Amino acid sequence: MLLLIGAFLVLMLVGVPVAVSMAVSSLLYLVFYGVAPDIIAAQRMIAGVESFPLLAVPFFIFAGNLMNIAGVTGRIYSFALALVGWMKGGLAQVNIVGSVVFAGMSGAALA
């Protein structure tokens, strides 16, 4: 465990990005302590990122960028501002109304 934390801290102090330093320190731990066979470690790493719900994240970002380029986001913001912008705490309510409109457009109940 000391190797894991030590390698992570050293890599962070050198200036390596957080994700890379976490991956390298975890691989060092697996190599030195032999917790699991190499093939199982590789399979578990791949299984963590091939989750179907994680696939939605880049597509939501892509859809947001498309709507921003097309100017839809500005119009939705102006519409929500016209509806509730005059009320007390109007900016927070504009956020909620805008989120409701985006959720209705994308068909996501949790968006």
Chain segment 85-106, per-residue pLDDT in tens: 788 888 788 888 888 887 887 7
Express each pLDDT in 17-36 by its tens digit. 999 999 888 888 888 887 77
- Does any domain span residue 87? yes
The one-letter code for the residue type at 31 is V
| Burial class of residue 91 (count of CB atoms within 10 Å of its CB; 0-12, 13-18, 19+) | exposed
- Does any domain span residue 35? yes
For residue 58, the model assigns a pLDDT of: 85
For residue 109, the model assigns a pLDDT of: 62
The one-letter code for the residue type at 36 is A
For residue 72, the model assigns a pLDDT of: 87
For residue 21, the model assigns a pLDDT of: 92
Domain coverage including residue 9: 2-50
Do 26 and 14 lie in one domain? The reply is yes
Nearest partner of 60 among 99, 18, 19, 17, judged by Cα: 99
Domain count, the chain: 2
Model-wide pTM > 0.75? no
- Does any domain span residue 10? yes
